Amino acid sequence: MAKDKAGRPIVVVTGYGVVTSLGAGKQDNWAKLTAGQSGIREITRFATDGLKTRIAGTVDFVSIGSAINAPELSQRFAEMAGEEAVAQSGIGSRGDFPGPLFLGVAPVEIEWQQRHEVAVAAGANDALSYNDLTRAGESGRFENYYERFLFGSVADGLAEKFGTKGAPISLSTACATGATSIQLGVEAIRRGETDAALCIGTDGSVNAESLIRFSLLSALSASNDPPTGASKPFSKNRDGFVMAEGAGALVLESLEHAQGRGAKILGVIEGLGEMADSFHRTRSAPDGKPTIGCITHAITDAGLSPDDIDYINPHGTGTPENDKNEYISIAAVFGERARSIPTSSNKSMIGHTLSAAGAVESVFSLMTLEHQRVPPTINYAVPDPAIPLDVVPNVARDARVTHVLSNSFGFGGQNVSLVIGREPR
């Protein structure tokens, strides 16, 4: 039977790929993740003079030439993760993916390098005006920048590369973006619109202006020394998140379609949960109602009860606010069990991959299911007595894992939870 309890097509994962500051590909990432290694480092891509935060989980091993900008990097990371996922699934043929693309990607804007180049072409001086800039801009020399910095350009490049079908959807739900891309893919398969979907979350936006923006909101850790110690989810001395880059990609298929072509089933996206928070732009409702509702919806949608969840991959950013709120929500949903369910934050090692996080962490959740091993929360030296969770401190451990809850919570009241299972029921 290829339908779930609610009579909907069961949606399975048949391929996944990942790129983070730890490396390219799932094997390399998993080895380092379970060894408790950090990918956080001193920023070398741009000058950090005058900045409070000088560290990030940048992906520095990928060369894309001189045009280093967020959409270019985001596209490259997404290509790498997507190629790995599609190759593993064996679906379609090269450049001919039999379904749509759902791409979680950071909003794009013309960056300083480009603005500077146009200003130079305009003959920058004290009296520089937008008339000067647009006149220089219309020379035609910068046509490629126009296209590169359209919001739809990353998805367009990926749709062409993978040969996905129909109009690709670019989406952004802040730090929940990657999870939303999966959610949209699952919904499309459940309603019978497609048999397969390529869902990717990607982020290559570690640049000076993005870092400054988060810094001005006091969201970032400034524990620069050593960089590997900066991301401290659930610790009492946590002082913010660490910006990071990467991509996660999943090939989703209806169980029927996957079985029909003899594909190996790597996991099941069993439940989707969502509830927006109307409390504040950057802070969560103090009573945790929206995140509690979000988690509960995901578990209910999966046809499960909280007792069935045996691992939590939390949002766990390491900001004072998120981790406290997330604990309150987990405690409300799971009661006494909250203290004993392994709950480890990948972000302690790879940082916060922002628009990619939900997808990257879904990949790691699938690997946790596959290997029956839970990666640790590193940098856990000073427990926070207000957050009595089993965070799998500092060292990975073997565990029986059948259903994972993966949380993604973002600015703008964006809350998405996924329940990911090991095999079809």
Partner 1 sequence: MAERENNLRETWITGIGIVSCLGEGLDAHWQGLNAPPPAADATSFAPYIVHRIVPLEFDRQIPKKGDQRQMEPWQRIGTYAAGLALDSAGVKGRQEFLSRMDMIVAAGGGERDAQVDLNVAANVDKAAKAEAFVNERLMSDLRPTLFLAQLSNLLAGNISIVHGVTGSSRTFMGEESAGVEAVRVAHARIQANQSDLALVGGAYNAERWEVMLHFALGRRLARGEPKPVWERGGMELGTIGAFLVLEEKAHAQARDATPFARIAAVTSDHVKRAPGAVTGALERMWSKIAPKLNATQAAVISGAAGVAPATEEERAFLSRQNLAVRATGTHFGHGLEPQFPANIALAAAALRAGRLYPGNASETAMDSGLKQVAVTSIGHWRGEGLALVEAV
Catalytic residue numbers, as ranges: 175, 315, 352
Q: Mask of contacts with partner 1, 53-92, x by CB under 8 A?
A: ----------------------------------------
Contact residue for partner 1 among 63, 65, 126, 336 (CB under 8 A): 126
In sequence order, which residues have a C-beta less than 8 Å from that of residue 20 and are 6 or more positions away?
29, 39, 57, 59, 244, 245, 246, 350, 353, 360
Among 39, 246, 410, 421, the residue binding partner 1 under the rule CB under 8 A is: 410
- Interaction between residue 174 and partner 1 (CB under 8 A): yes
Question: Which residue number, 288 or 413, has a Cβ lying nearer to partner 1?
Answer: 413
Any contact of residue 215 with partner 1 (CB under 8 A)?
A: yes
CA–CA dist 55, 224 (Å, integer): 6
Residue 68 near residue 203 (C-beta atoms within 8 A): no
Contact 330, 337 (CB under 8 A): no
Answer yes or no whether residue 411 interacts with partner 1 by CB under 8 A. yes
Nearer to partner 1, 68 or 395 (CB): 68
Residues 342-401 that bind partner 1 (CB under 8 A): none
Q: Count Cα neighbours of 405 within 13 Å in the Cβ-side half-sphere.
A: 38
Q: How far is Cα of residue 273 from the mean position of the Cα atoms in its chain?
A: 16
**Part in contact with partner 1 (CB under 8 A); list of ranges 67-75, 250-258, 383-391, 407-415:** 407-415
**Closer residue to partner 1, CB minimum distance, 118 or 242:** 118
Is 270 an interacting residue with respect to partner 1 (CB under 8 A)? no
Residue choice 203, 277, 323, 361 for contact with partner 1 (CB under 8 A): 277
CB of 80 to partner 1, least distance (A): 22
What one-character DSSP code corresponds to residue 342? B
Q: How far apart are the first and last CA of the chain?
A: 9
Q: 244 with 351: CB under 8 angstroms?
A: yes
Nearer CB in complex with partner 1: 148/403: 148
Stretch in the footprint of partner 1 (CB under 8 A) among 46-54, 230-238, 261-269, 334-342: 46-54
Residue list 229-258, contact with partner 1 (CB under 8 A):
none
Interface of this chain with partner 1, residues 176 to 205, rule: CB under 8 A:
180, 184, 187-188, 190-193
* Residue 150 binds to partner 1 (criterion: CB under 8 A): yes
Of 66 and 125, CB closest to partner 1: 125
CA 154 to centroid of chain Cα atoms: 16
321 lines the binding site for partner 1 (CB under 8 A)? no
Q: Is 119 in the site for partner 1 (CB under 8 A)?
A: yes
CB-based burial label for 398 (10 Å; 0-12, 13-18, 19+): exposed
- CB contact at 8 A, 11 and 254: yes
Exposure of 183 by Cβ count < 10 A (0-12 exposed, 13-18 middle, 19+ buried)?
A: buried
Bond preceding residue 226 cis, omega within 30 of 0: yes
Our finding on whether 283 is near partner 1 (CB under 8 A) is: no
Write the Ramachandran bin of 390: left for phi over 0, alpha for psi from -120 to 50, otherwise beta. beta
36 binds partner 1 (CB under 8 A): no
